[in-house]
A and B are shown apart, each in its own frame.
Chain A
Amino acid sequence: MAQETQGAEGTQRLERGEHITREITRIPQRFPPERVWLVCFAASLCLLALFAVSAFVLFRNGVGMWGNNIPVNWGLAISNYIFFVGIGHAGTLISAMLLILNEHWRNALNRFAEAMTLVAVICAGLYPILHLGRYWRFYWMAPYPNTMDLWPQFKSPLTWDFFAVLTYLIVSLLFWYIGIVPDLATMRDRSKKRRGQVLYGIFALGWRGSARHWQRWNQAYRVTAAIAVPLVVSVHSEISLLFAAGPIAGWTSTVFPPYFVMGAAFSGFAVVSMIAIVLRHAFGLHDVVTDRHLDLLAKLLLACGLMTSFGYVAEAFDALYSGEDYDVQTLVDRLSGQYAWSYWGAVILNFVPLQLLWWKAVRQKPVVLFVVGGCVVVGMWLERYMLLVTTLYRDYLVSSYGEYHASFWEWSLFAGMLGVFFTPFLLFVRYLPMISAFEIKEALFEDRGERKGKAGGASVHA
């Protein structure tokens, strides 16, 4: 009897697994919303072209094409850099941290979240190079043997930024790639066309699904995850030092590292939620990315948002508690100065819509969650902008007060950077399994086992 049931359950499970595999792998093969995708892809290619033009203009003429000046040496480039690295962190948190914590619900989200991380880090990494006065010398930040016998200056937060972003890029790439290998093998096996078989086959690295493969894979995947998780904290803490290490009032605060990491996770979860909602809607993946997933994402968003808001309070408290003239003055400038719109924009967009997520019914409404996520993305962008500009435009000496207005070419580069973000991401959605099929199957199996175990345990006790 029991065997029979088990056999029936096994068949059911196999069927269910096969269904999921089919559902996910059919997307790259017979892409259902081809037309919508083409329109999106064409738009992002246009943005990519805009990026190329903006970068060309910048490289040809110099950073003077932007609105930067003395005192506001940094502008959109650096605030966007922080913003993009920040949203990337959510992908790592979802896939690596939840993997280690054995939270199975991550499996529906991790693949595209990681892909998002990867493109976000690429965007972020481009910005510091674009912003250099002599971009053609960017590699001088790297420690490489050279005839001048010079090393980077290890006290500089920028040197560590360089290491941090590069490390993060490599680890994210590895983690994403290791994770996708079994599914690439599935794609190879299911491809009807020769080209697909060859291409997927090359990148599947000869995966046959043997037990030894799985064992090695498991080791590699979990070790990489274990490396990636602390990176989230260290990378963004490091990036916060770009501000906090300087002696400028409004920057030089110990609140910055946790404040930045929280903000990063917050903005990242917002982006992941938005992407999840769009993909689920576009490809009808309601049974894979379920309402429960949205609920959990919304909870994470709420938690990070509240911690970020605590950061705002801590920052203001810090300034007032210190009583330092310049700190208080920077706070006043933020609250009521020329760029107060960026402060209040950040605070309101990051805090107010978020409060809707206290209600479960709201959390499970994709449209509402999408709008809240959008608010948070804009709010966090404003926060990065605010932290940079409101600090620099009035620092110490009254005589060096200035203003900053981003120029056309700065905005166009920002728009173009969205092309850099979306073009590879759309290609990923189109040609690769964007949800981890095998991990969902694994989760299904394990969940069932757990539930069964629990149920059994309960009955024993009963």
Chain B
Amino acid sequence: MQHVPPVTPVQKKQAAPRSVLQDFAEERSMIARLSAEFPALAPDATGINRRSLLKAMGASLALAGVAGCTSQADETAMPYVEQPEGETPGIARWYATATSFAGYAQPVFGKTYSGRPVKLEGNARDQATRGAIDPFTQAALLGLYDPHRSQAPRYLGQPGSWTRWERWSVEEAARLDRNGGNGLRFLTGRVTSPTLRRQMANLLQRWPNARWHTHEPFSADEAHDATSAVFGRPLDRHLRPDRADVIVALDDDFLGPGPWQVRHARDWSDKRRAMQQGQGESWMAVAEPLPTLTGVTATQRLIAHHDKVALLVRGLAARLGLVESPPILEGQEAAWLDEVHARLQASRGTSLVLVGHTQPTEVQALGLLINEALGNWGRTISFRTPVAALAPEGNRSLQVLVEEMLQGRVSTLVMLDTDPLATTPAALEFGAALANVEAAVHAGLYADETAALSHWHLPIEHPLESWTDLRAPDGTVTVVQPLVKPFWSVRSQHEILDNLAGHQNTLAGHQNTPARAIVQQSWRADWGVNFEERWAQALLDGFVDDTAEPTVVPAVQSRAAASTAEAAEPAFASGLTLLVRPDPTIWDGRYSEIAWLQELPKPITKITWGNAVLVSPALAADRGLANEDAVEVLVDGRSLRGPVWIVPGQDPATVVIFAGGGRSGGLAEGYGIDPMQLLPANGKTVVSGVELRPTGEQMPVATTQPHHAMHGHDFVRSVKREDLPDLEPMLEEHPSFYPEPDWSSPSWGMAIDLDVCIGCNACVIACQSENNIPVVGKELVAQGREMHWLRVDHYHEGPVQEPDMAFQPVPCMHCEQAPCEMGCPVNAAVHSYDGLNLQVYNRCIGTRTCSSFCPYKVRRFNWFDFTQEDPESLQAMRNPEVTVRQRGVMEKCTYCIQRIANTRIEAQKEGRPIADGEVVTACQAACPTTAITFGNVLDPDTVVSRQKAQARNYALLGELNTRPRTTYLAKISDRAEPAPPSEIKS
């Protein structure tokens, strides 16, 4: 059977199978027998039944009305003549699919209304992510609708056409056939797609002289060198933080942004939660040069220069007897190492030592051997064959390509979904090399810098509108199905490769969806006779079962790392060290066109719309620099001007610049600075010998939180772990003059466990996407007018050089005695019977009293009309269940009231109470660490009530007696020595 339904919807609840009885009842013979037995039940022979009679009556009534009025239907409107099967307007359909993040599959459930995708959520059935989702993956939705995307092919900078492209590619294929692919080079990002790999393999087989190069910025593939050194072959590592009582992360931000984040955070929070219940430990030590999510979350954080981290690894190895001569470490570092060592020794086999991929290969290899010595191999850390295709030259792949291009050995360069011009160091001079190529073909989502210098630019399909397959970091395959047909004249990467092989899309056998046929071809052989069934199942599930790459612990080939690490004593470079890291919100710049992510505050600095030169307070004091002072960053004659931003908790000798800024063209133009200008040609992201030269000028930086010092307040509280069993309840009850309202059940409330919050921002984007929250741009953010209903506050306390840090997500508190409600003169801020603090938009006249009176300042005001001028494509993305707000009204978190209402309606239809866990707010659904719980606070058995019943449950600003429904669970501190005295520092 050739026919396969185009897309298979996944209903959130499986529709009840059509009953056999129903089929039976409609059989002709059955009807005959039925009418003989029960004439009243038989269908009417005249064809007029009750329903059609009512219809006719309705129509005549309507016609009677027509005589009385002259209004006519809009002539341009198209009536819904035939309702598509299974499509009910206003009822959402869910499809399991995946987006790609740095080449890896991120499984999602896509929510669509009448064919319009409006929200991405995690795939609850996926074992690795379990329904959690990161900000990048959620924001892919905006990427799909982005009106700035490339919409048609271009040839030599002029609008081209796909027919012309096909003509060109057929000729090119013929030419390549003659010389065996001489001079043909492919350049891609990380490729995990089995279909793409199959296509590439076919092409390379057909043209043996062609070569395939890869360039994935911040791929962390340097770690492959370390496994090669130890095991003799490149291997991906597989971490099990859920089994680790003790984690020591040495400059390794494993909870930070990246394709692994959700998986690691999920597992880590499992362990943390077990510790909260008294099962096992969850102790983490971090040594790092700049504050990261992992560092903020850690129990013990040591600020260490990048080179110092190598010494710490060796010091730890020496204490474990792996290295002969221990490096000389003193004071704080030695004490830190002693404690780490003691903890690790006590948790052999249940500990995990991680060394960051920017460290020298031998140091990383030593890290692997430390885990072996601790008996962690196969328990908390194991390995697997790399999921992605590896270029033969490894990390030098791009450099080799550029050398060849410069030598004129490349005649045709095909760049698939990669923007090397913007993401390679300027010193590599990729642009100059590209000019040496006879025919450069660029296929990508945007007509970016690389596209401008290429002969052909081919717009590709967004993963959410295309057929493809991708593998998750653990190897699990997702067959990616489109949520919607492509909006524009774009093609999938598979089709473009197919065109390159000399095939035309329009040829027979390809029908309308050549990409689907190509993807199916990859799996048809494997799945054999069960193909149709397995294909449908794969689309339903959103992943293919049992396709994860098996984990292994191969035999050790060489332990030389121990001795070489010793030999390679890091020469502490004079001057400053520059670290270039992927941006926590726009990664390497590939998301710089996505306004949600540009306006998403970076976790530590809360900077939006651009990046800055991050320095420590000590360095700033030394150079007399203040925030927003423009400096010239100088390295080896290369220079870059950018604004300074002071980051407490950063290493004094380190300067950090996030990648992805300073793009030219498009939405991102003019925002941030591009550190690629500073990196050496080899692409190393750690550069020493950096100088800072103040220019005396100012460059504006837009931040959503200008002040981070907690000033001795107790916004974020923490309790000692040993005090936990006998802890007095932290939530104080204060008397009130107001009568206690009579709440009806369910009455909603939220608890946020600060002990597991890692500040990843997933909730912020989930809220933005769910609630149609507008983006306001850099200028308005700088004026304090950002619109996020849910913000993640970042605080630090203690000495400003080495502060304690914490995150605190702040939605509306839904105070039981809300000052905002008292302030509103027009009843726009009112309380619902089920405990919600409501904001009635169409009642609001914008006096802003509610916000003035709000102690938490969680309310957001439409200072201008933020929504009216949205491009049409963005309007299609809006959640139809949430009002789009007008200019001049106040808005705020609603506890996702539309979700509550939907659940209530469903429950009432079925005549049952709402079950616990049935209402899931958008932020809660996204949270990778399940820090957010939501439910009925009147029922003591709900998850949220049990959370709130914990002694460490407290109310933010509880002394104001607003009785917030959103409460927090204090962090649990497990530090050996007393916490440093909290001083007031700014």
Contact with B along A232-245 (1 / 0, CB 8 A): 00000000001001
Given contacts A133-B862, A157-B823, contact A397 B852 (CB under 8 A): no
- B827 and chain A: residue at smallest CB distance: A153
B720 within 8 A of A: no
Task: Contact check, A62 vs B785: say whether CB atoms are below 8 A apart.
Answer: no
A291 within 8 A of B: no
- What's the nearest-Cβ distance from chain A to residue B759, in Å? 13
- Tell me the interface secondary structure of chain A in the complex: loop
Bound together, the chains give a CA A200 to CA B708 distance in angstroms of 66
B861 within 8 A of A: yes
Interface hits, A25-68 → B, CB 8 Å: 61-64, 67-68
- B820 and chain A: residue at smallest CB distance: A246
Bound together, the chains give a CA A11 to CA B667 distance in angstroms of 88
Contact with A along B234-269 (1 / 0, CB 8 A): 000000000000000000000000000000000000
Bound together, the chains give a CA A35 to CA B30 distance in angstroms of 106
A156 within 8 A of B: yes
Given contacts A395-B857, A396-B957, contact A248 B852 (CB under 8 A): yes
Residues of chain A within 8 A of B859, CB atoms compared: 70
B844 within 8 A of A: yes
- What's the nearest-Cβ distance from chain B to residue A394, in Å? 8
Q: Which of B57-65, B882-890, B901-909 contacts A (4 or more CB under 8 A)?
A: B882-890
A203 within 8 A of B: no
Task: Contact check, A397 vs B857: say whether CB atoms are below 8 A apart.
Answer: yes
Task: Contact check, A73 vs B957: say whether CB atoms are below 8 A apart.
Answer: no
Residues of chain B within 8 A of A159, CB atoms compared: 825
B819 within 8 A of A: yes
A175 within 8 A of B: no
Given contacts A133-B845, A398-B795, A401-B707, contact A74 B852 (CB under 8 A): yes
B826 within 8 A of A: yes
Residues of chain B within 8 A of A398, CB atoms compared: 707-711, 713, 715, 795
**Considering residues A61, A159, A242, A402, which has the most beta carbons from chain B within 10 angstroms of its beta carbon?**
A402
Contact with B along A246-260 (1 / 0, CB 8 A): 111000000000000
- What's the nearest-Cβ distance from chain B to residue A9, in Å? 60
Bound together, the chains give a CA A253 to CA B824 distance in angstroms of 20
Residues of chain A within 8 A of B847, CB atoms compared: 128, 131-133, 158
Contact with A along B681-714 (1 / 0, CB 8 A): 0000000000000000000000001111111010
Task: Contact check, B784 vs A141: say whether CB atoms are below 8 A apart.
Answer: no
Given contacts A61-B864, A247-B819, contact A140 B826 (CB under 8 A): yes
Given contacts A64-B863, A137-B845, A150-B827, contact A247 B707 (CB under 8 A): no
Q: Contact partner of B825 among A131, A162, A395, CB < 8 A?
A: A162
Residues of chain A within 8 A of B852, CB atoms compared: 73-74, 246, 248, 392
Interface hits, A149-181 → B, CB 8 Å: 150-153, 155-159, 161-162
- What's the nearest-Cβ distance from chain B to residue A309, in Å? 27
Q: Contact partner of B851 among A70, A157, A399, CB < 8 A?
A: A70
- B830 and chain A: residue at smallest CB distance: A153
Bound together, the chains give a CA A74 to CA B849 distance in angstroms of 8
Task: Contact check, B886 vs A248: say whether CB atoms are below 8 A apart.
Answer: no
B783 within 8 A of A: yes
**Considering residues A63, A138, A329, which has the most beta carbons from chain B within 10 angstroms of its beta carbon?**
A63
Task: Contact check, B890 vs A133: say whether CB atoms are below 8 A apart.
Answer: yes
Interface hits, B643-677 → A, CB 8 Å: none
- What's the nearest-Cβ distance from chain A to residue B890, in Å? 7
Bound together, the chains give a CA A63 to CA B851 distance in angstroms of 15
Q: Contact partner of A73 among B825, B826, B861, B960, CB < 8 A?
A: B861
Residues of chain A within 8 A of B810, CB atoms compared: 397, 399
Residues of chain B within 8 A of A392, CB atoms compared: 852
Task: Contact check, A63 vs B791: say whether CB atoms are below 8 A apart.
Answer: no
- A159 and chain B: residue at smallest CB distance: B825
Interface hits, A102-131 → B, CB 8 Å: 128, 131
Given contacts A132-B846, A248-B852, A397-B793, contact A153 B826 (CB under 8 A): yes
A22 within 8 A of B: no
B431 within 8 A of A: no
Task: Contact check, B785 vs A64: say whether CB atoms are below 8 A apart.
Answer: yes
B856 within 8 A of A: yes
Contact with B along A209-233 (1 / 0, CB 8 A): 0000000000000000000000000
- Tell me the interface secondary structure of chain B in the complex: loop
Bound together, the chains give a CA A90 to CA B793 distance in angstroms of 47
Task: Contact check, B823 vs A158: say whether CB atoms are below 8 A apart.
Answer: yes
Task: Contact check, A158 vs B849: say whether CB atoms are below 8 A apart.
Answer: yes
Task: Contact check, A63 vs B846: say whether CB atoms are below 8 A apart.
Answer: yes
A69 within 8 A of B: yes
**Considering residues A73, A141, A159, which has the most beta carbons from chain B within 10 angstroms of its beta carbon?**
A73
Given contacts A62-B887, A140-B826, A153-B827, contact A248 B853 (CB under 8 A): yes
Task: Contact check, A141 vs B888: say whether CB atoms are below 8 A apart.
Answer: no
Residues of chain B within 8 A of A396, CB atoms compared: 855-857, 957, 960
Task: Contact check, B826 vs A70: say whether CB atoms are below 8 A apart.
Answer: no
Residues of chain B within 8 A of A61, CB atoms compared: 864
- B819 and chain A: residue at smallest CB distance: A247
How many residues on the B side are at the interface (Cβ–Cβ under 8 A)? 56
B848 within 8 A of A: yes
B865 within 8 A of A: yes
**Considering residues B791, B855, B957, B960, which has the most beta carbons from chain A within 10 angstroms of its beta carbon?**
B855
A424 within 8 A of B: no
Bound together, the chains give a CA A403 to CA B846 distance in angstroms of 20
Residues of chain B within 8 A of A401, CB atoms compared: 706-707
Residues of chain A within 8 A of B851, CB atoms compared: 70-71, 73
Task: Contact check, A70 vs B856: say whether CB atoms are below 8 A apart.
Answer: no
**Considering residues B709, B711, B784, B962, which has the most beta carbons from chain A within 10 angstroms of its beta carbon?**
B784
Bound together, the chains give a CA A71 to CA B856 distance in angstroms of 9
Contact with A along B787-817 (1 / 0, CB 8 A): 0000101110000000000001010000000
Bound together, the chains give a CA A29 to CA B956 distance in angstroms of 68
- What's the nearest-Cβ distance from chain A to residue B861, in Å? 7
- B961 and chain A: residue at smallest CB distance: A247
- What's the nearest-Cβ distance from chain A to residue B808, in Å? 8
Task: Contact check, B856 vs A400: say whether CB atoms are below 8 A apart.
Answer: yes
Task: Contact check, B713 vs A325: say whether CB atoms are below 8 A apart.
Answer: yes
Residues of chain A within 8 A of B707, CB atoms compared: 398-399, 401
Task: Contact check, B823 vs A156: say whether CB atoms are below 8 A apart.
Answer: yes
Bound together, the chains give a CA A355 to CA B762 distance in angstroms of 61
A134 within 8 A of B: yes
Residues of chain B within 8 A of A70, CB atoms compared: 784-785, 851, 857, 859-861
Task: Contact check, A71 vs B826: say whether CB atoms are below 8 A apart.
Answer: no
Contact with A along B33-50 (1 / 0, CB 8 A): 000000000000000000
Bound together, the chains give a CA A392 to CA B849 distance in angstroms of 12
Residues of chain A within 8 A of B886, CB atoms compared: 134
Task: Contact check, A62 vs B706: say whether CB atoms are below 8 A apart.
Answer: no
Task: Contact check, B845 vs A141: say whether CB atoms are below 8 A apart.
Answer: yes
Residues of chain B within 8 A of A128, CB atoms compared: 847
A-B contact pairs, 25 of them (CB 8 A): A61-B864, A62-B888, A63-B861, A64-B863, A69-B784, A70-B859, A71-B857, A131-B848, A132-B847, A132-B888, A133-B846, A133-B888, A134-B844, A134-B886, A134-B887, A138-B845, A140-B825, A152-B825, A158-B847, A161-B825, A245-B853, A246-B823, A395-B857, A398-B795, A399-B708
What 3 A-B pairs come out closest when comparing CB atoms? A133-B846, A133-B888, A64-B863
Interface residues of B (CB under 8 A from A): 705-711, 713, 715, 780, 783-785, 791, 793-795, 808, 810, 819, 821-827, 843-849, 851-853, 855-857, 859-865, 886-890, 956-957, 960, 962
